[in-house]
Amino acid sequence: MCLYRRALGTTFDCLPPVLQAFHQSSGGNGMRAVAHGHMQITHGSGRFRRTLAVFLRLPQAGESVPVTLRIESHGEKERWVRQLGRQQLVTWQSLGQNGLVESVGPLRFGFQLDADTEGMRFISRKCWLLGVPLPPVLAPRVTAQVRGAAQSWWLKVCLDVPGVGRLLSYEGELRPA
């Protein structure tokens, strides 16, 4: 059973068919789902935010940046490989005690995942650095929205850091390969 079906339970059946089919195609050990599209990638304004984005190796800002998303199933986990222009962002997603967990480098994010007939919303609820829970006042926050269409979906992801503000956002359309 695919990770998102396990995370959402019966709500998974409410998702637009294109999202159901895409996530189910990565649902078994060794299975893979692939999508392509273009994103507008923006960094927060100001020199400090742009410098921090470069230091953290976040995708470069740009209009109509080519994107490939590859999801590979590894037992109970999924490896998400996002090729955003020339940069690659690799994360691992799994099911935690209270919902979806996504790991990137030394950070883990715990998400509240909501779904309906239009798509899904991801809201950061917890963040861990090297396994240590960060207090909300220090924890980076990731929010994402996915809205399904007939044969594609629109995605918007934002990364905000307390005391810094918006560090990165990217949005655009993806189509299953």
Read off the pLDDT of residues 143-156 as tens digits, 9 standing for 90 and up. Answer: 999 999 999 999 99
pLDDT of residue 57: 85
Average confidence (pLDDT) over 98-109: 93
Residue scoring higher pLDDT (57 or 40): 40
Helix (H, G, I), strand (E, B) or coil at 115: strand
Instruction: Give the pLDDT score at 51.
Output: 87
Q: What is the pLDDT of residue 27?
A: 63
159 touches 139 (CB < 8 A): no
Segment 120-134, tens digit of pLDDT = 999 999 999 999 999
Decide if pLDDT at 7 tops 70: yes
Q: What is the mean pLDDT of residues 101-122?
A: 96
Kindly state the tokens that stand for 29.
């050990």
**What's the pLDDT tens digit per position in 131-144?**
999 999 999 999 99
d(CA 175, CA 75): 25
- CATH architecture, range 3-176: Beta Barrel (2.40)
Query: What pLDDT does 28 receive?
Result: 63
> What stretch of H or E contains 102?
strand 99-104
